[in-house]
Amino acid sequence: MSKIYNIAALKGDGIGPEVTNSTIKVIDALVETTDLKINFKYGEAGFYCIEKYGTNLPKETIALLKKTDACLKGPMTTPQTPGAPISAAVQIRKMFDLFANVRPCRSFPNVDALKPNIDLIVVRENTEGMYSGIEYELSPGVGVALRIITKEASLKVAEYAFKLASKRKKHLTYVHKGNILRVTGKIFKDAVKSLAPKYPEVKIDEAHIDAMTMHLIKKPEFYDVIVTTNLFGDVLSDEAAQVTGSLGLAAGANIGKSYGMFEPVHGSAPKYTGQNVVNPIGTIMAGAMMVEYLGEKQAATKIEKAVIEVLKDGKIRTKDLGGSSTTSEMSNEIVEKIRTL
Ligand code: NAD
């Protein structure tokens, strides 16, 4: 009998519930039509929890995550007031040492991208850097935020990126700002370079973050795997997503040694809450990455194929893709494709 996977589902807030429900519907259709067995266990997290629990990540939710094989997470609004709880996603990434944030961006059929044949993956360090959470006001009007870079975390993310590149087009680009952030930049660069002899088949090159934002627009098809520190990776992956057509298409995996959390690259887009207009594909593709992480490659490929077929048909297009279809029309069409593939 095939294994039953327990998945924590955190729907989040803003457009989170719409895109997460769409993904659960797609995975349920996959379960109905394949041998895959998935049990969703629902938990609460996000901005809306703060009033109720005093935190955006209640302890019951942390306990739930610990009992599951992986987490499907919707986007969540992050409080911006100093002293308020920090992003729930950042807390989970640190708590479970989900050191690699893996964000693929590729050209899709019938989607206007800046260039054809884009197929790249941004691998972002996920536990430190500018997201260390150490930020304070030194004296009125003078603030400090600490960018923590360690050899240990840099090696972990670099190793992940090398392995990924060696299975793909064997090209790894490491991105930094070593000309200005010389101490932390050097630790990151040295960690990447120290692993190069272990992967002689992988060609490596480097770029400064500012130049990289330009290269990504000018020649995105040149890149394969891009590895970088936390904030630079966050910025580059949103840019890469739009270069391929829409932020609404981009999926992300947060990978650690023994747990994975899967979510869209985009945030909670509060102005679209409850309007049924956003694109659910980013979260659905995050669902496919989760199914692959569980070891069910064939089932994951079925989700990807269904998404690509729906885009190829071109009948259903959400607003970000230049159409007027709703979130539920898009997810229903993907469900129908899953049933017929
Ligand atoms: P955002 O990604 O939520 O939205 C930016 C814009 O991108 C939207 O206005 C919309 O035009 C477009 N967009 C986003 N998702 C889309 C979709 N599925 N389909 C179509 N278009 C889409 O970024 P933001 O406005 O900077 O952040 C809003 C909130 O989300 C903030 O509170 C932020 O902290 C939070 N956030 C959370 C996560 C997370 O949970 N991992 C990630 C990023 C941002």
Q: Is the CB of 56 under 6 A from ligand 1?
A: no
Residue 118 lies in a domain: no
67 and 140 in a common domain:
no
Q: How far apart are CA 212 and CA 174, in angstroms?
A: 10
Residue 2 lies in a domain: yes
Centroid of ligand 1 to alpha carbon of 156 (angstroms): 28
Q: Is the CB of 247 under 6 A from ligand 1?
A: yes
Q: What is the reported pTM? A: 0.96
96 and 1 in a common domain:
yes
How are strands ordered across the β-sheet holding 251-255?
Answer: 37-43, 4-10, 70-73, 260-264, 251-255, 100-106, 119-125, 225-228, 171-176, 203-208
Q: How far apart are CA 189 and CA 263, in angstroms?
A: 28
252 and 201 in a common domain:
no
173 and 215 in a common domain:
yes
Centroid of ligand 1 to alpha carbon of 266 (angstroms): 4
Residue 115 lies in a domain: no
Mutate to test the pocket of ligand 1, among 268, 307, 316, 321 (most ligand atoms within 8 A of CB): 268
Instruction: Give the domain range for residue 175.
Output: 129-227+235-243
The closest-lying atom of ligand 1 relative to the alpha carbon of residue 263 is 41
Centroid of ligand 1 to alpha carbon of 325 (angstroms): 19
Mutate to test the pocket of ligand 1, among 93, 247, 284, 319 (most ligand atoms within 8 A of CB): 247
Q: Is the CB of 320 under 6 A from ligand 1?
A: yes
What's the pLDDT tens digit per position in 136-161?
Answer: 999 999 999 999 999 999 999 999 99
CB 320 within 8 A of CB 277: no
Cα angle 179, 215, 285; round to 5: 110
* Phi-psi map region of 123: left, alpha, beta (phi>0 left; psi -120 to 50 alpha): beta
89 and 175 in a common domain:
no
Residue 30 lies in a domain: yes
pLDDT of the chain along its 341 residues, tens only?
679 999 999 999 999 999 999 999 999 999 999 999 999 999 999 999 999 999 999 999 999 999 999 999 999 999 999 889 999 999 999 999 999 999 999 999 999 999 999 999 999 999 999 999 899 999 999 999 999 999 999 999 999 999 999 999 999 999 999 999 999 999 999 999 999 999 999 999 999 999 999 999 999 999 999 999 999 999 999 999 999 999 999 999 999 999 999 999 999 999 999 999 999 999 999 999 999 999 999 999 999 999 999 999 999 999 999 999 999 999 999 999 999 99
341 and 250 in a common domain:
yes
Which residue's CA is minimally distant from atom 36 of ligand 1?
267
Total structural domains within the chain: 2
Last-in-domain residue among 243, 277, 306: 243
Q: Is the CB of 49 under 6 A from ligand 1?
A: no
Cα angle 196, 201, 204; round to 5: 50
Residue 110 lies in a domain: no
Last-in-domain residue among 208, 243, 278: 243
96 and 153 in a common domain:
no
161 and 201 in a common domain:
yes
Determine the distance from the C-alpha atom of residue 93 to the mean position of all C-alpha atoms in its chain, rounded to a whole number.
Answer: 11
Q: Is the CB of 22 under 6 A from ligand 1?
A: no
What's the pLDDT tens digit per position in 45-98?
Answer: 999 999 999 999 999 999 999 999 999 999 999 999 988 999 999 999 999 999
